[in-house]
């Protein structure tokens, strides 16, 4: 089953400095049909104006993956971690027993991110943060694992969940396959840019596709496209 969730149907709010669209219930947006998808709890599509950002605030018991689509995001937390993550790259924060952090757009132009929250397999643990570049050329025509808590994904940023976050770039006409293996798993795919077809379902940029009850998917690019996919346990 693949359910298209058009970008225009998403919840959200424009705060001036932040234009946020929510694939799942978040903040003032509540939809009982879109509370989570497997262990995937949040997928926010955020546009952050230059010189603004999220001031220090706490998190606990959540794996927070930030995929930078445009610009860059600068991170600082109470564990002493600092970093700047650029477009196409990924940062991961395991909130664990509790962490306080801030995220700012210190760039001259807007920053656009996908922020993805995944429910961890267990509560608590020491908080951590990390970031890594993922050159788009290395994921041309195929899915590459960006963050994972699954065995064998040694090159990915670690998360504490039975889940995997993947990225791919496809030229128009190219296809890529992803195998979930177990049809009980839940997938959620969003084109950051471009138009694609997922097993016959057409997605425009920033649409979501909620996927389950399949062993694999084939994605065909109708335009040059950049994709992010999350695979989680049910």
DSSP string, 1-28: -EEEE-GGG-EEEE-SSEEEEESS-BTT
pLDDT at 79: 97
pLDDT tens across the length of the chain (234 residues): 999 999 999 999 999 999 999 999 999 999 999 999 999 999 999 999 999 999 999 999 999 999 999 999 999 999 999 999 999 999 999 999 999 999 999 999 999 999 999 999 999 999 999 999 988 778 899 999 999 999 999 999 999 999 999 999 999 999 999 999 899 999 999 999 999 999 999 999 999 999 999 999 999 999 999 999 999 999
Measured between alpha carbons, how far is 137 from 142 in angstroms, rounded to an integer?
10
- Specify the long-range contacts of residues 141-144, CB closer than 8 Å, at least 24 apart: 141/168, 141/169, 141/170, 141/171, 141/174, 141/176, 142/168, 142/176, 143/167, 143/168, 143/176, 143/178, 143/227, 143/229, 144/168
pTM: 0.97
pLDDT given at position 136:
77
């Amino acid at each position: 089953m693949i359910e298209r969730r058009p970008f225009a149907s998403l919840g959200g709010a424009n705060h001036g400095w932040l234009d946020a669209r929510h694939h799942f219930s978040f903040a003032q947006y509540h939809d009982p049909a879109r509370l989570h998808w497997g262990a995937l709890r949040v997928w926010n599509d955020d546009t952050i104006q230059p010189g603004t950002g999220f001031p220090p605030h706490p998190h606990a018991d959540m794996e927070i993956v930030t995929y930078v689509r445009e610009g860059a995001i600068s991170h600082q937390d109470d564990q002493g971690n600092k970093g700047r993550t650029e477009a196409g790259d990924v940062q991961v924060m395991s909130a664990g027993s509790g962490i306080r952090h801030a995220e700012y757009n210190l760039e001259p132009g807007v920053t656009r991110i996908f922020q993805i929250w995944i429910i961890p397999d267990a509560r608590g643990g020491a908080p951590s943060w990390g970031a890594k570049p993922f050159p788009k050329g290395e994921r041309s025509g195929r899915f590459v694992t960006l963050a994972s808590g699954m065995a064998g994904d040694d090159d990915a940023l670690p998360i504490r969940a039975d889940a995997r976050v993947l990225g791919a770039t496809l030229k128009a006409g190219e296809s890529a396959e992803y195998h979930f293996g177990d049809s009980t798993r839940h997938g959620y795919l969003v084109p950051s840019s471009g138009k694609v077809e997922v097993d016959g379902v057409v997605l425009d940029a920033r649409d979501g596709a909620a996927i389950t009850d399949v062993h694999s998917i084939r994605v065909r690019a109708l335009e040059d496209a950049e994709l992010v996919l999350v695979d989680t346990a049910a």
